[in-house]
Chain A
């Protein structure tokens, strides 16, 4: 469904993503992990058209490299950010409505916005200003605005960051429901290995923009190369 082939991104002398290739299947929950500065968020920025790059990214067999971000959103690729990105002066309902207005191929649908408000559990806060929300609700709102664009692929960037155990359970449950009930393919960047092993079907580990290994999450997390990349080398 989403295929990256030999993607490289350099910022001056720094190579943020180095000849990376992988494919995400339709309906899959695909995990991406790696140490800080590995190039995970940069990867999202490349897929969503925020930066130019070398290589190829195809979505449903069509090349999306070079398309502007709003056109990529219209094709059905949406994302969230590690730090919740909201529209502070807009209400919760209007913020989600923005996604429906501009990102959805079907245009604005009031009933769909209602459905999303319920889905992300913000129906009681629909009139609140987004600036007044707590961190969990801001994350829910950001996911809601992304869902309002009717994505085929939703890319989540460290959705659990800064959350306590109870909030992590809520967010994990939401991610599973998005995948199973709405049939949306998920790509998730996360540091919590427990979250990745429970949620994902395939896991890619990258370090300094290069693939370390990719495969079944249980196998990947026990791979010596991954342990070395996260915990450092064996000092024997």
Chain B
């Protein structure tokens, strides 16, 4: 029993850490541009497929190489998607709705493209590290440890970026006061595109990390999109700290519900918690009114 509970806690922590990495990216976009990105889940799948492609090339059969090559590809892809599809809409009336619609269209386009190019069957990625710690009956795989460490490392790197770099400072300024930021010389349009690109990298990296455990499928990103939105709304729209807490709560909840009631109940439990939270505290855990 004790071993089972420890397994559940570890599983919750690991999933929570990856969810945190991905939810922070979505929170970032919403916090800065107030736009809903429905293609976020498809960017998750893109990370997995890029890794799958790279592992198909003998020379790249190494996660370090995969991360180093996938990150700039995702960064450039996110930047240009924002510039080509999202930025032109921002000049129009009701642009928030139009951004939702165009990212929804982009998601469908990408997911169908994955199906055409890679087929409908799930793809698997090799484990990042084989083997496990074994203490009596308790087993903890090296893969889970590495996923946890890389996710937390990604979040800390992101935090360092926000607090210590010029672009990070501009992102924070635009998120808090777009008009004031422009007036002191911050190029708002560039910040929007940079934010979109950074969040694409974060969810794509999450896709590579989780694809080792849950495979890559053309429509697999929708589940992630739903979870990321639940976490973002649960934590408080635009609140990065709230998103982090919510990600670990969701990770734990999933693990315990899956253990006690079966995996089919995890999404139901997730929405039950979200609806209850929003009924009692509509701004989410750490969001603000207005």
Set of chain B residues within 8 Å of A146, measured between Cβ atoms: 183-184
Pairwise interchain contact B173-A90, C-beta atoms closer than 8 A: yes
Decide yes or no whether A55 CB sits under 8 A from chain B.
no
- Closest Cβ–Cβ distance, residue B98 to chain A (whole Å): 20
Q: Are A78 and B189 in contact (CB under 8 A)?
A: no
| 90-146 of chain A: CB within 8 A of chain B | 90, 94, 97-99, 101-104, 142, 145-146
Report yes or no: B180 in contact with A81, Cβ–Cβ below 8 A: yes
Is B177 a contact of A70 with CB atoms below 8 Å? no
Among B101-109, B164-172, B224-232, the stretch in contact with A: B164-172
A48 to B182, alpha carbons, bound, how many Å? 9
Judging by beta carbons under 8 Å apart, are A48 and B184 in contact? no
A68 touches B180 (CB 8 A): no
Task: Output the least CB separation between A42 and chain B (Å).
Answer: 14
Instruction: Report A-chain residues with C-beta under 8 Å of the C-beta of B185.
Output: 70, 73-74, 99, 102-104, 149
A89 to B172, CA, bound (A): 8
Contact in complex: B179, A81 (CB < 8 Å):
yes
Within 8 Å of chain B (Cβ to Cβ): is A193? no
Give the residues in chain A near B166, CB-CB below 8 Å. 101-102
Known interface pairs A78-B184, A103-B184. Does A87 touch B173 (Cβ–Cβ under 8 Å)?
A: yes
Known contacts A70-B188, A85-B177; is-contact A79 B172 (Cβ 8 Å): no
Chain B residue with the shortest CB-CB distance to A148? B184
A68-B187 contact in complex given A101-B166, A102-B170, C-beta closer than 8 Å: yes
Find out whether the CB atom of A145 lies under 8 angstroms from the CB atom of B179.
no
| B173: chain A residues within 8 A (beta carbon) | 87, 90, 98
Q: Is B89 an interface residue (CB 8 A)?
A: no
Q: Residue A73 contacts which of B170, B176, B177, B183 (CB distance < 8 angstroms)?
A: B183
Min CB gap B164→A, angstroms: 11
**Considering the chains assembled together, what is the distance between the CA atoms of A73 and B186 in angstroms?**
9
- State the CA gap A89–B186 with chains docked (Å): 17
B159 to chain A, nearest CB (A): 13
5 tightest Cβ-Cβ pairs between the two chains A and B = A103-B185, A85-B180, A102-B185, A69-B182, A73-B185
Q: Which residues of B contact A (CB under 8 A)?
A: 166, 169-170, 172-173, 176-177, 179-189
